[in-house]
Amino acid sequence: MTGQAGRTGKAARGEAALVPFGEALTRYEPVIGLETHVELGTVTKMFCGCPARFGGEPNTLVCPVCLGLPGSLPVANRAAIEYTIRIGLALNCSIADLCRFARKNYFYPDMPKNFQISQYDEPLCTNGWLDIWVTDPGAGGGGRQVRVGIERVHLEEDTGKSLHVGGATGRIHGADYSLVDYNRAGIPLVEIVTKPVEGTGALAPLVAHTYVSELRDLLRALAVSDVRMEEGSLRCDVNTSLAPRGSGVWGTRTETKNVNSLRSVERAVRYEIERQAAVLDAGGQVTLETRHFHEDTGVTTAGRNKEEAQDYRYFPEPDLVPVAPSREWVEQIRAALPELPAARRARLTAEWGLSDSEFTMIHNAGAVELVAQTVAAGAAPADARKWWLGELARRANETGRGLAELPITPGEVARVSALVASGALNDKLARQVIEGVLAREGTPDEVVAARGLAVVSDEGALLAAVDEAIAANPEVAQKVRDGRVAAAGALVGAVMKATRGQADAARARELILTRLGQS
C-alpha cells in the first residue's frame, strides 16, 4: 500500500557514502556555480496581459496566450525587459544592444506550447559580478570579500505548475494522476547564472549561501521581485564539482535542484562535496547529472542523467522581434537605480564608524534598515546599534519574532537613546521604558511619565540616600576612607536600590566619594 517495500536500504534511499567535510577539503578543492531563477514582480505576465500574481484559484489567471492556444502570439512585456536590465546593471553586466528570444523545445504537460520562450546565445545581460562579504565563523567572526562572476542574466517565461497526485514520490513517475495549474505559466522569469567560483575552499557552502542571500537583498533593493524562496519566486540550482587539490583540473559537475532555502543551498553544496569526495576516493567518476535535494534528510539523489539529456533544439523565436534597448533607455534605467546594498554597506560602515565585522553583525541580524532609521531619527550610531543588537534582539529572541516585528519604532528607540544621553534616564531605566513601549503602554515619554521613571536629580534626596547607605554599611565606608575607592561600588548599588534605580549612578558615586573624603 505504501509502495515503500524494498526501498529500505541505504542505496535505495539514494544515500551515498560520504567523506567528512573537513577531510574532503584536504584532498579536493570545490568549484561551485549557481543558477538562480527569479520571478519578476511585474503587473502582467511576460507575453500577455494576465496578472502575474502568486496564488489565485488554479487556472483563473490565464488567457489564450499563456495557455499557448493555437493561433495565439506572444508580445514581450517592456517592464520585464526593463527589470532585467535593472538587474544586469546592478550586477555590473554589459547590456546587449540587440538580442533575441529563442525557443527551448521539450515536451512537458505544464508547458502550454511544449516550448519555452527563453534566451539562448543572445542573453540580455552578460559578464558582470557581485561582490559578497562572507563571514568566516572559523576566523573569529572575521570575513572576506568574494567576487562572484556573473556569466549572464536572461529573461524567459515560467512554466505552469504540476501537482502529481498519488504514488510514493510526488513526482510524475508513479503518480495516479497529475493536475496542472497554468496561473504561473508566462510569469516573467529571470535566470542569473554565475561563472564558476573556485578557490573558496571550506567556505564554498557558505559562499553559495551568502551569494544567494546577497543576491536576494540586491533584487529586493531593486524592487523587481518579492524574492520569496518558499513561494518559489526565487529558485536556485547549485552546481558543484571537485578538483583534486593542486591539480587545477575541474571535475565533473552535478546540478542540484529543489534547493528551496538559503540553508538548503549551503547544505546541498556541503553534501555534494562530501558525496563526490567519496566517489572520487573510491576511484569512481562523478556522473554529469541533475540531482534532487531533499529538505528533510539533507541528501541529494540522482535525477535526470545529463549525458542522455534531451536536445532542446533552440532556435530564434520567430513570433517575436529582437529586443534592442537603446543606449538612452539603458542610461535612464542606470540613473534611476536605487542605492545598492554594497554601496549602502560601504557608506553606512563609514558613516557609522564601524568595522566590516561590526556592520556584518548588524546585517546578519537583519537590522541595517532599523539602525539606519534610528540614526536618522537622531540617535548616535553606536547607541542605535547597541539597542537593536542588545536589548531589542534579546526581546525579539524571547518572543520568537523578527526585530522589525517588535512593536517599537526606530523613532522611539532614538527617543530612549536621547533620554539616556541627556541624563534623564540611565541604562536600567531605559530598559524599563523599552519594556513599557513593547507592552504597548505608550511612547517612551508616556511610559516615563506613567511609570514615574526619572533619574533622581534632587541633590537633597540623593544626599540623604547616600548618607543612609554609608550609615548602613560602615565597613565598606571605612574601606573607601582608607583609599580603596573601588569599594564605593557597593555603596552606589545601595543608593540605587534605595532609589529604585532612579538615581544618576555617576552623581551618586561622586557624592559618596566626597562624603568619604576621596575627591
Partner 1 sequence: MAGELTRMSAAGLAAAVAAGEVSALEVTEAHLARIAEVDGAVHAFLHVAADGARRAARAVDERRAAGEPLGPLAGVPLALKDLFTTTDMPTTCGSAILNGWRPPYDATITRRLREAGVVILGKTNMDEFAMGSSTENSAFGPSHNPWDLARVPGGSSGGSSAAVAAFEAPLGIGTDTGGSIRQPAAVCGVIGVKPTYGGSSRYGVVAFASSLDTPGPLARTVLDAALLHETMSGHDPCDSTSVDAPVPPVVAAARQADVSGLTIGVVPELGGEGYQRGVLTRFGEAVELLESLGAKVVEVSCPHFSYALPAYYLIAPSECSSNLARFDAMRYGLRVGDDGTRSAEEVMSLTREQGFGAEVKRRIMLGTYALSSGYYDAYYGKAQQVRTLIIRDFEAAFEQVDVLVSPSTPTTAFPLGERVDDPLAMYVADLCTIPSDLAGNAALSVPCGLAPEDGLPVGLQIMAPALADDRLYRVGAAVEAALDSRRGHPLLDDAKGLT
d(CA 493, CA 499): 10
Cβ at position 345, least distance to partner 1 in Å: 41
> Which member of 311, 328, 405, 475 binds partner 1 (CB under 8 A)?
311
Helix residue ranges, H only, 53-194:
78-90
β pairing state of 28-39 and 197-198: antiparallel
> Which member of 68, 325, 341, 501 binds partner 1 (CB under 8 A)?
68
Q: Which stretch binds partner 1 (CB under 8 A): 67-75, 281-289, 370-378, 430-438?
A: 67-75
Cβ at position 132, least distance to partner 1 in Å: 35
180 binds partner 1 (CB under 8 A): yes
Q: Which stretch binds partner 1 (CB under 8 A): 74-82, 150-158, 267-275, 326-334?
A: 74-82
SS3 at position 400: coil
64 binds partner 1 (CB under 8 A): yes
Instruction: Specify the DSSP class assigned to residue 272.
Output: H
Cβ at position 365, least distance to partner 1 in Å: 48
Q: All 3 cell numbers of residue 199? A: 578557490
Long-range (24+ apart) CB contacts under 8 A made by 347-354 are 348/372, 351/375, 351/381, 352/381, 352/382, 352/385, 353/381, 353/382, 354/381, 354/385
Is 314 or 329 the residue whose CB approaches partner 1 more closely? Answer: 314
> Which member of 21, 37, 72, 451 binds partner 1 (CB under 8 A)?
72
Is 250 or 312 the residue whose CB approaches partner 1 more closely? Answer: 312
d(CA 212, CA 239): 13
Q: Is 44 left (phi over 0), alpha (psi -120 to 50) or beta?
A: beta
Cβ at position 325, least distance to partner 1 in Å: 16
Cβ at position 177, least distance to partner 1 in Å: 9
Is 107 or 307 the residue whose CB approaches partner 1 more closely? Answer: 107
Cβ at position 84, least distance to partner 1 in Å: 17
β pairing state of 94-95 and 125-135: antiparallel
166 binds partner 1 (CB under 8 A): no
> Which member of 22, 71, 400, 474 binds partner 1 (CB under 8 A)?
71
80 binds partner 1 (CB under 8 A): no
518 binds partner 1 (CB under 8 A): no
H or E element in which residue 220 lies: helix 204-222
> Which member of 21, 44, 53, 67 binds partner 1 (CB under 8 A)?
67
DSSP per residue, 8-48:
-STTTTT------HHHHHHHEEEEEEEEEEEE---SB-SSS
348 binds partner 1 (CB under 8 A): no
Q: What's the Cα-to-Cα distance from 399 to each of 5, 119, 402, 427, rounded to whole Å?
A: 44, 47, 9, 22
Q: All 3 cell numbers of residue 366? A: 537583519
d(CA 505, CA 519): 16
Is 168 or 421 the residue whose CB approaches partner 1 more closely? Answer: 168
Q: Which stretch binds partner 1 (CB under 8 A): 30-38, 91-99, 278-286, 308-316?
A: 308-316
By CB under 8 A, the count of residues binding partner 1 is 30
Q: All 3 cell numbers of residue 369? A: 534598515
> Which member of 138, 318, 400, 452 binds partner 1 (CB under 8 A)?
318
Is 182 or 271 the residue whose CB approaches partner 1 more closely? Answer: 182
88-117 binders of partner 1 (CB under 8 A): 103, 105, 107, 109, 112-115
Which parts of 352-508 are beta strand (E)? Answer: none
Q: How far is CA 427 from the centre of its chain?
A: 32
> Which member of 73, 163, 376, 506 binds partner 1 (CB under 8 A)?
73
SS3 at position 146: strand
Cβ at position 105, least distance to partner 1 in Å: 5
178 binds partner 1 (CB under 8 A): yes
Is 223 or 321 the residue whose CB approaches partner 1 more closely? Answer: 321
Count Cβ neighbours within 10 Å for each residue of 225-244 and write b for 16 or more, e otherwise.
bebebeeebbbbbbbbbbee
Instruction: Specify the DSSP class assigned to residue 56.
Output: S
d(CA 94, CA 154): 12
Is 109 or 170 the residue whose CB approaches partner 1 more closely? Answer: 109
Say which residues have a Cβ less than 8 Å from residue 74's Cβ, sequence separation at least 6. 46, 47, 48, 65, 117, 317, 319, 320
Cβ at position 271, least distance to partner 1 in Å: 31
Helix and strand element counts for the chain (H, E): 17, 15
Binding interface with partner 1 (CB under 8 A): 64, 67-76, 103, 105, 107, 109, 112-115, 172, 178, 180, 311, 313-315, 318-321
